[in-house]
Structure 1
């Protein structure tokens, strides 16, 4: 129970609620949620991990198009009726997001392995050696 009236100068519990977080510290990018991503490049593969708390496996879509890997996901807000009280503050994030990575032409979609465990999506993307460009002299007749 708070003895300080809400909205007063001494209401420290809600003092910082109206300040905006600078964009570099925000979890939003252009109105969309941005998951925390880790990308590792090894000699023979890429490893991408994405934190997706609250997202169901069926709401995650990964595509590879012309060497660009796109990760799309959506988390839904649960609509439930509160019988024993009301929600005073809610800091969970809901929404749709998309991230894209240009991996180049040395990856194939059929080789990508995706695993989703405890809210973390892990993609293992093997790299293939491209044949070196060849050159040959063309005779002119």
Structure 2
């Protein structure tokens, strides 16, 4: 049973179509673009979730954070990942920031899985900006079909 846990973004999907490749260029000249064009959004934690009979495997891209700054919370079948990228204070006398595009702050991602997780046996590692989690499925958990009278 494969589940697609990807958040749907209609504009992102449109930009992939050949007919809309110039959509971004078109929006650059649109009046509202100038009002919102320079607003940076925080990066999303991108995830891949796969499963087999016993467990879910999650890979989450969280570059630039220390493993001590990653929090994972599991409640039943809900998984939440929070990470904080801290800015190092640099005090360079005589230097002024011309442009800063690197993101600093908190990122958060949560998702729901079809079956509950056995929290006691969860295993997580973080290496090269990728968080990998093994989430064992709780045994004995089954869904019950309800008949409507």
SS in 2 for 1:71: strand
Q: 2:87 aligns with which of 74, 77, 87?
A: 77
Deviations 1:22-70 (A, max 9, x none): xxxx983xxx542222222333321111111111111111011132111
1:20 equivalent in alignment to 2:30: no
RMSD: 3.2
**Normalised TM-score (structure 1):** 0.64
Runs of 4+ in structure 1 over 4 Å off? 131-134
Residue 75 of structure 2 corresponds to: 65
1:1-141 equivalence runs, <5 A:
20=37, 28=41, 32-83=42-93, 85-130=95-140
Question: 1:128 offset after TM fit, Å?
Answer: 3.8
Unaligned stretches of 5+ residues in structure 1:
1-14, 135-141
Q: In the aligned structure 2, how far is the partner of 1:127 from the partner of 1:105?
A: 6
SS in 1 for 2:63: coil
Question: 1:103 offset after TM fit, Å?
Answer: 2.1
Aligned residue pairs total 113
Unaligned stretches of 5+ residues in structure 2:
1-27, 145-149
Higher percent of residues as helix: 2
Q: In the aligned structure 1, how far is the partner of 2:88 from the partner of 2:109?
A: 24
Residue 25 of structure 2 corresponds to: none
Bigger radius of gyration: 1
Residue pair 1:106, 1:130 contacting (<8 A) in 2 also: no
